[in-house]
Structure formats: C-alpha cells, structure tokens
Amino acid sequence: MTTTTMSRGKTYDMVYIAVFAVVMAICSWISIPATVPFTLQTFGVFLAVGVLGGKRGTLSILVYILLGAVGVPVFAGFSGGIGSLFGNAGGYIIGFLVGALVMWGMEKVMGRKTWALAVQMVVGLIVCYAFGTVWFMIMYTRSAGPVGLVTVLGWCVFPFIIPDLIKIAVALGLTKSLRKVLPIMQ
C-alpha cells in the first residue's frame, strides 16, 4: 500500500466518521418528547456501526457525544452541553457508546455477516438499555427520590423495544444497500 493510498483511506475514514456523527444528530432531532424522548438516535447508532464497522462506527458515536458535550445542539430537542449527559436520560446517550464498543468486540468474534450484525445490534441495544436504566435510576433518585426498577423500565425501556427492533431491521436493510454503493474499506 502506498502512502497516498493510506492517506486517502484515513481521509475517507475521517469523512465517514464525521458524516455518521451528523446522521446521528439529525436522527436525534426527529423526536417525540417523553420521559426519555422517542428519537431515531438508535437508528443512527445502528447504521453507523453497520455501515462503518465497529471501530469507525464507535468513533462516529464518540464524535457525536463529544460534539454534544461541548454544547453543539446534537441531542434530542436540539439540546447539548455536558448537562445533557448528566441528566436523567444522559446514560442512554453514553450507553450508545458502551453498546457500540460491545458490538465492535462481537464483530471481531462473529464477523460482519447480516445475521451476526443483527445479533450484535440487539445485544448492543440491551447494553444501552441496561447502562441507561441504571444511570436514570441514579440520577432520578438524586433529584426526585427513590424509584423502582419496574417503574423506570416502564418509562424508559418497554415503550422503546418494538420501535428499536424496527429501527434495527431498517438499519440492517440500509446497511446492506449502503455497503454495496459506498467506497468503504472493509
């Protein structure tokens, strides 16, 4: 591989990482307000990891979170700032990164076939739910008093399961199509 080819590959990597960070921001702006807003963020996360792979997908999620942390309004409701991450629902945003790391690790073991990617996305979603739910319970307890696990699951997880599974299915289909047309190094 020549220096020019390596340089072009790194440039493509940076562009794709940035593009998918923007895709996640746009997906977060499509929002229905609730205790934890209904957004398309998880769709953006699944699409980034699906199309870019574990490493670059995780980096795009990290860029997205860092943009939000420094105040760029990339989170649901056009919000941003470190306070968004330390709010009740901030654990789900950080959970995107934790879930992506798990998906990346699973990718190394299982590969990138469609069935493997589907399993990785479901496990990543479960990790995100778990991380976010624990975070929500801690933050909610600090600000409003104790809350039970079943109550939090009723607010923050159960209403999202079917929509998130649909997002996974759509992300899988779109991933398959985008991999055919984008010049992404596998």
Q: What is the mean pLDDT of the chain?
A: 93
CB 34 within 8 A of CB 159: yes
If phi over 0 gives left and psi between -120 and 50 gives alpha, with beta otherwise, what is residue 139?
A: alpha
Q: How many CB atoms lie within 10 A of CB 184?
A: 15
How high is the pLDDT of residue 31? 84
How high is the pLDDT of residue 6? 65
| Low pLDDT (below 70) residues in the chain | 1-7, 184-186
Cα-flanking dihedrals φ and ψ of residue 111, to 5°?
90, -165
How high is the pLDDT of residue 134? 97
Q: How many CB atoms lie within 10 A of CB 113?
A: 9
How high is the pLDDT of residue 87? 93
Cα-flanking dihedrals φ and ψ of residue 139, to 5°?
-65, -40
Look up tokens 């199309």; give the residue: 51
Q: Which helix (H) or strand (E) is 16 found in, with range?
A: helix 3-29
Task: Using alpha carbons only, give the angle 84, 40, 50 rounded to the nearest 5 degrees.
Answer: 110
How high is the pLDDT of residue 33? 81
Q: Give the span between the Cα atoms of 34 and 22, in whole angstroms.
A: 23
**Nearest in space to 65 (alpha carbons), one of 53, 74, 76:** 74
Question: What global pTM score does this model have?
Answer: 0.92
The half-sphere exposure of 47 on its side-chain side, counting CA atoms within 13 A, is 24
